């Protein structure tokens, strides 16, 4: 079992920055691919970013490229999402997820989920 706890969400204005954290506990964290997803009201959950166990491979949805940065600190069992130049359309509940296989994690298949943290961007 893996437990994931997100933090760092909040209410910000468009153009501001936030950093989300996802603290993991349980099974061997360092061997897992990690990812962020988000779900806006009335919409399906969507992939945002992923990072492999070593941090050498990352992937982003097109809408956040150049604005968001995913990273991880295996010594702290924690993953981060630095979000800059936030837009109104970034408003959503952000979830972290983890699993073994990259191709499964990026589509949210067979992963462990956190409880989510709300990010609200106002004009």
Per DSSP bridges, beta strands 46-51 and 58-60 are antiparallel
Mean pLDDT of the chain: 95
Distance CA 18, CA 118 (A): 11
Across the range 99-107, mean pLDDT stands at 93
Single out the residue of 31, 42, 101, 108 nearest to residue 72, CA to CA: 31
Phi first, then psi, for residue 119 (nearest 5°) are: -120, 120
Q: What is the pLDDT of residue 1?
A: 82
The set of residues, in sequence order, having a beta carbon less than 8 Å from that of 68 and lying 6+ positions away, is 48, 49, 60, 81, 82, 83, 84
pLDDT by residue (tens digit) across 34-44?
999 999 999 99
Tokens of residue 5, six digits: 């706890």
Q: What is the pLDDT of residue 32?
A: 87
Across the range 84-99, mean pLDDT stands at 97
Tokens of residue 21, six digits: 């954290």
Helix, strand or coil, per DSSP, at residue 102: helix
Q: What is the pLDDT of residue 26?
A: 84
Rg (CA), the chain: 13
Across the range 16-20, mean pLDDT stands at 98
Q: Is 116:5 a contact under the CB 8 Å cutoff?
A: no
Across the range 4-22, mean pLDDT stands at 97
pLDDT by residue (tens digit) across 60-86?
999 999 999 999 999 999 999 999 999
């Amino acid at each position: 079992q893996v437990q994931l706890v997100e933090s760092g969400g909040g209410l910000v204005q468009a153009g501001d920055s936030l950093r989300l954290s996802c603290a993991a506990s349980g099974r061997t964290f360092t061997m897992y691919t990690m990812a962020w997803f988000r779900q806006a009201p009335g919409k399906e959950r969507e992939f945002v970013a992923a990072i492999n166990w070593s941090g050498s491979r990352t992937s982003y949805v097109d809408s956040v490229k150049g604005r968001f940065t995913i990273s991880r600190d295996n010594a702290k069992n924690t993953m981060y999402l630095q979000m800059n130049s936030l837009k109104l359309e970034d408003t959503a509940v952000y979830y972290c997820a983890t699993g073994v296989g990259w191709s499964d994690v990026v589509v949210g298949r067979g992963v462990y989920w956190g409880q989510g943290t709300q990010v609200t961007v106002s004009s």
